[in-house]
Amino acid sequence: MSFYETLQNSAVGHLISESNHLVGAAFQVVHIVGIVLLLTAVLLVALRLLGLGLREQSLQEVEKLARPFLWLGLAATVISGSLFFISTAVIYATKEALQIKIVLLVLAVLLQFGLVRRLVAHPASKAVARGAALASLTLWLGVGLAGRAIGFT
Amino acid sequence: MSSIIEIAQAIQDSSIGVAIAESTVVFPVIETVHLLGLALSVGLLLIVDLRLLGLVLPKVPVATVHHQLRRWIFTGFTFTFVSGALLFWAEAGQVIVNYAFIAHGIFILLGIANAAFFEIRLVPGAADWKESLPGAARFAGAASLSAWFLVLVSGRLIPYLA
């Protein structure tokens, strides 16, 4: 039995797949609320790096404002996303769109935590800040597109 | 009522409606635009609402937060409404009788009514607000937060309450 079959046949996997379809719907609601919280944090910081949005506040202030939304959003999306995955692991594991989504997500999160934190601590040139913001927005757009494509591939 | 359903079915059966519904590229791309427009609109509006409730940026005046985010929130809503209209075009006949979609529409109207009240009646005086905000402003923040949260939840439930 493959790893994904084991996962799908686990107690948690069975619990989810055999529950009412509204339980799955509730996970989807948690997932989208998490997405909005997560992207709120991303947008606040990216706009500020571009000199837009809350430009009268410092980058430090905006990053501090965004942080709880980023953590809460990541926790909600990753937990609800993992629960969908466990219940249907065998099918999901073959979906290329999901694999692309995970890769882009990891890159986007690394950029968010690594580069943005560094820019807050050591202000860089405008060009670097803009580059970081555009890279971040592009990666998150990719995560969104790949995520929506999962059901269509 | 049956005539509304017939009109919705005719919209869905139109050539553009069918073209959107049948495309495995166009449909998810429109959904992504709907999602990202939502993050820009509802996401940044959340910051304004939480400021009205005194939960974020307590030292920054409401007018300063609102003024800086307003154009982005409106841009986001434009993307969300246009993409939402296109999604409706492709599925009008099915969603018009869907309880989640009906709730989605009602909550959107409540959210817009509250936003109009806030923009027209409260924003003009916002520059004079001191540390403690008027009750109406705090109420508008709480109402906005509730309405758009319910818009989000009901929208996501559309495929599940078919």
Nearest to A77 by CA among A50, A38, A109: A38
Q: What is the mean pLDDT of residues A61-89?
A: 91
- Model pLDDT, residue A54: 96
| Residue B114: burial class (beta carbons within 10 Å; 0-12, 13-18, 19+) | buried
Shortest CA gap A40–chain B (Å): 5
CA distances from B79 to A11, A81, A94, B40, B118 (A): 42, 26, 32, 9, 22
Domain count, chain A: 1
> Contact A36/B39, CB-based, under 8 Å?
yes
Task: Dig out the tokens for B74 from the structure.
Answer: 């409106």
The answer to whether B37 and B77 are in contact (CB under 8 A) is yes
> Contact A25/B28, CB-based, under 8 Å?
no
Give the pLDDT confidence of A63-75 residue by residue, as tens digits: 999 999 999 999 9
What is the domain range of residue A108? 3-152
Assign residue A51 a region (left: φ > 0; alpha: ψ between -120 and 50; beta: otherwise): left
Residue keyed to tokens 């799955």:
A24
The answer to whether A7 and A86 are in contact (CB under 8 A) is yes
Confidence tier at B131 by pLDDT (50, 70, 90)? confident
Nearest to B140 by CA among B10, B45, B20, B32: B45
Helix (H) or strand (E) segment spanning residue A64: helix A59-87
Q: Which residues of B are less than 8 Å from A24 in CB distance?
A: 160
Confidence tier at A142 by pLDDT (50, 70, 90)? very high
Asked if the C-beta of B59 comes within 8 angstroms of chain A's C-beta atoms, the answer is: no
- In this predicted complex, what is the ipTM? 0.91
> Contact B44/A44, CB-based, under 8 Å?
yes
> Contact B68/A39, CB-based, under 8 Å?
no
